[in-house]
Structure 1
């Protein structure tokens, strides 16, 4: 696979590749990045009050076990209790300063809190402790990607892939980088791999659909967007992407309906608002 060609004009919007992929109609949407996305590899039940209580009981019995704090910190993170998560990861690191996964977990919480400098430092430390830790490369790459440091992001993602990662985020995010630079065939291949690793997640379908659309393949794009909606009907970008296909086909009524649904889900989503203004009859 060839290296990505980047330029100073490469930019990211809402944590995604730039959306100027079509000449006639602006590309409606790309998938947003959220804690739910990054924590997809953590069991949903982990953030439950019951699970947190169970982990707290373990800590009461074994107060000097660093992995217990690391697990409860992950549960707090899944529940959105970031301050509590940080306290547990701090404790895990104090008990075991060589815990590379605790540093990576804390880095993720720092990123959610917008403290990217601290997140980057923790990812660097995790990698220094374990140079084969794919999760840390994937996490650091996302900080690089969202700050426009595309070459560094690509290098980290390729390192994770070389380590035979099974984390779909590595392929999905590399696909976004290829998509942003117009290398859509490479993007499609990476999104397809992400889908094979996480077939029930909608993000890979949305990403691949956008690159199909950029190549003029409306049928495959439409199929992917519809699959994304079927998997999770509460993502505004999926509906806006579907609307874009309707719009390109000249069906303004259906396009407006899908754009309206996207705005119901996210009233601040600009591509849906602009699309609805174009298609409202």
Structure 2
């Protein structure tokens, strides 16, 4: 997650924590839909669902695809150790299964082993140099490690491959934003919004860049939309409060800061804002 950054007016802190689009994806199968790992869905790893997937594996125990699909279900359900074991098996059965390498990389990342994640993303890209998912996944690991240029290069590569994954644009936008290139950031956030109109974070990110360019009305509209899409987005509540504060409406600002603190009690920009507006 991003740290807090001060933008145009030094009196105000623009919250950046949590801007990173949380849509981390697992390829469930070689050509099938993507699974979202950003929020644990225990039903994916329910006994009933796992039992049916296990039946498929038992019927075809040498089919790597079955293990990849079940591993994705385990991963979506937060059962990372089981997911890792299934991806290991899928790769042992098919050493060129680049989607399984990318899936296993994401599990490594969620388990805190970024070194192994990078190794698996590298292997996936050795097998398929045009696999946009792996570039985006590896770019996210690089961003976490503050290897900004390498992260930018990976997101850029995914975009050059004509990816339709909104994370590539959103994350490149975050890098532009961190470098103060807000016009480029707004363009990337807008593309991300067009690809994932129901995602809250790109609106929040774009709002921050609008605010940095003193386009307050546009920023306010984006923060409000971020909240509408995800009422649990503490950063968006904080940024909405910041606009109220800038406009001299301390009562509304205080309410929004309080809401952010209810959602994220340790979030310092909201705590600082509340202390200013109480």
TM-score by length of 2: 0.90
Choose from 243, 248, 253 the match for 2:251.
253
Displacement of 1:151 in angstroms is 0.9
What is the distance in 2 between the residues matched to 1:219 and 1:53?
A: 52
Q: Secondary structure at the match of 2:25?
A: helix
**1:267–1:138: structure 2 CA closer, same or farther, 3 Å change rule?**
same
Contact 1:19-1:26 at 8 Å conserved across structures = yes
Contact 1:30-1:207 at 8 Å conserved across structures = no
Q: Secondary structure at the match of 2:6?
A: coil
Contact 1:100-1:127 at 8 Å conserved across structures = yes
TM-score by length of 1: 0.89
1:28 aligns with 2:15: yes
Contact 1:28-1:244 at 8 Å conserved across structures = no
Q: 1:208 corresponds to which residue?
A: 206
What is the distance in 2 between the residues matched to 1:185 and 1:33?
A: 18
Q: Encode CA deviations 1:199-246: one digit per residue, 9 max, x unaligned.
A: 011111011011001111111111111111111111211111111111
Contact 2:57-2:67 at 8 Å conserved across structures = yes
1:259-278 → structure 2 map (5 Å cutoff): 259-278=257-276
May I ask how many residue pairs the two structures share in their alignment?
265
What is the distance in 2 between the residues matched to 1:168 and 1:83?
A: 28
Displacement of 1:112 in angstroms is 1.1
1:117-132 → structure 2 map (5 Å cutoff): 117-132=115-130
What is the distance in 2 between the residues matched to 1:54 and 1:239?
A: 42
* Superposed CA RMSD: 1.8
Q: 2:57 corresponds to which residue?
A: 59
**1:46–1:71: structure 2 CA closer, same or farther, 3 Å change rule?**
farther
Q: Where in structure 1 are there 5+ consecutive unaligned residues?
A: 1-14
What is the distance in 1 between the residues matched to 2:136 and 2:115?
A: 16
What is the distance in 2 between the residues matched to 1:127 and 1:73?
A: 20
What is the distance in 1 between the residues matched to 2:104 and 2:19?
A: 22
Q: Secondary structure at the match of 2:243?
A: helix
Contact 1:255-1:279 at 8 Å conserved across structures = yes
Displacement of 1:45 in angstroms is 8.9
What is the distance in 1 between the residues matched to 2:106 and 2:247?
A: 41
Q: Where in structure 2 are there 5+ consecutive unaligned residues?
A: 27-33
Structure with more contact order per residue of length (Cα contacts < 8 Å, sep ≥ 6): 1
Contact 1:93-1:103 at 8 Å conserved across structures = yes
Displacement of 1:173 in angstroms is 0.1
Choose from 175, 178, 184 the match for 2:176.
178
Q: Secondary structure at the match of 1:234?
A: coil
Displacement of 1:18 in angstroms is 5.2
- Per mean C-alpha deviation after superposition, the further-off stretch among 173-182 and 217-226 is 217-226
1:1-281 → structure 2 map (5 Å cutoff): 15-16=1-2, 19-23=5-9, 24-33=11-20, 37-39=23-25, 41-42=34-35, 47=44, 49=46, 50-280=48-278
